[in-house]
């Protein structure tokens, strides 16, 4: 019986192919692993300018905000009314007449004393210039006229008692003819209960006048 023996061929007839495939697989895996790293680095690099912009953004926003505040303050200051000029306090009748003569509309003249005047004819106040006479002390008052002669006319004046509790009416009159036109009596608190006291006279004319304020009972 003839027996034939075959030589078994080695399984790895081409070992260099296996090495090549292994090297290729390793290279692919290395590339796969390094791509996220590069991507992460690129993401960090691209995000840095955004951080710088965001930190500088408040400075750009705050500057116009400060300007707006300053402009609004200027506008508020411009819209606020100017304070009313005040003259006095006057303590004589001549000082009172001079203050009224040189006053601008709505000026305030403070009355600081008990003032008595007995002219034969008296016109107190200007038709073209309303003013305020304000009581500056508890004894401040105006005594106008004379029972024997003359006429009294008071016009375009606001008598402001300033809420001071006084022992006298703000205005006393004593003449044959007494006229009050476009006068206001406000914030007057007196023991007599009235800011205007007419003692005598044949005629008393009160036109377009306003009375307001408390009285001391």
Q: Where are the domains of the chain?
A: 18-80, 86-211
Higher pLDDT, 45 or 87: 87
- pLDDT(71) > 70: no
pTM above 0.75, yes or no: no
Q: Output the pLDDT for position 88.
A: 81
pLDDT tens-digit profile of 80-124?
445 667 888 999 999 999 999 999 999 999 999 999 987 778 999
Distance CA 52, CA 48 (A): 7
Task: Write phi, then psi, for 13 (nearest 5 degrees).
Answer: -75, -25
146 vs 172 pLDDT, higher one: 172
Helix (H, G, I), strand (E, B) or coil at 188: coil
Structure tokens at 119: 């002219």
Determine the distance from the C-alpha atom of residue 215 to the mean position of all C-alpha atoms in its chain, rounded to a whole number.
33
Rg (CA), the chain: 50
If pLDDT is split at 50, 70 and 90, which confidence band does 18 have?
A: low
CB 143 within 8 A of CB 170: no
pLDDT digits (tens, 9 = 90+) for 112-155: 999 998 777 899 999 999 999 999 999 999 999 887 777 899 99
Pair of tokens at residue 61:
């926003």
Cα angle 193, 195, 198 (rounded to 5 degrees) comes to: 95
DSSP assignment letter at 148: S
């Amino acid at each position: 019986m003839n027996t034939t023996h075959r030589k078994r061929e080695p399984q790895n007839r081409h070992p260099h192919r296996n090495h090549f495939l292994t090297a290729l697989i390793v290279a692919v895996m290395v590339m796969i692993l390094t791509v996220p790293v590069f991507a992460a680095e690129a993401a960090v690099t691209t995000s840095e300018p955004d951080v710088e912009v965001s930190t500088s953004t408040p400075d750009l926003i705050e500057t116009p905000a400060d300007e707006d505040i300053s402009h609004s303050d200027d506008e508020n200051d411009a819209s606020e009314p100017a304070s009313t000029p005040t003259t006095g306090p006057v303590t004589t009748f001549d000082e009172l007449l001079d203050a009224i003569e040189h006053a601008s509309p709505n000026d305030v003249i403070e009355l600081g004393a008990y003032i008595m005047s007995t002219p034969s004819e008296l016109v107190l106040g200007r038709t073209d210039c309303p003013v305020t006479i304000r009581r500056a002390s508890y004894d401040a008052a105006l005594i106008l006229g004379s029972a024997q002669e003359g006429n009294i006319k008071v016009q375009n004046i606001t008598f402001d008692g300033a809420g001071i509790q006084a022992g006298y009416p703000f205005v006393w009159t004593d003449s044959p003819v007494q006229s009050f036109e476009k006068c206001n009596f406000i914030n007057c608190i007196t023991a007599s209960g009235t800011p205007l006291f007419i003692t005598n006279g044949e005629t008393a004319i009160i036109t377009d006048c306003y009375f307001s304020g408390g009285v001391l009972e």
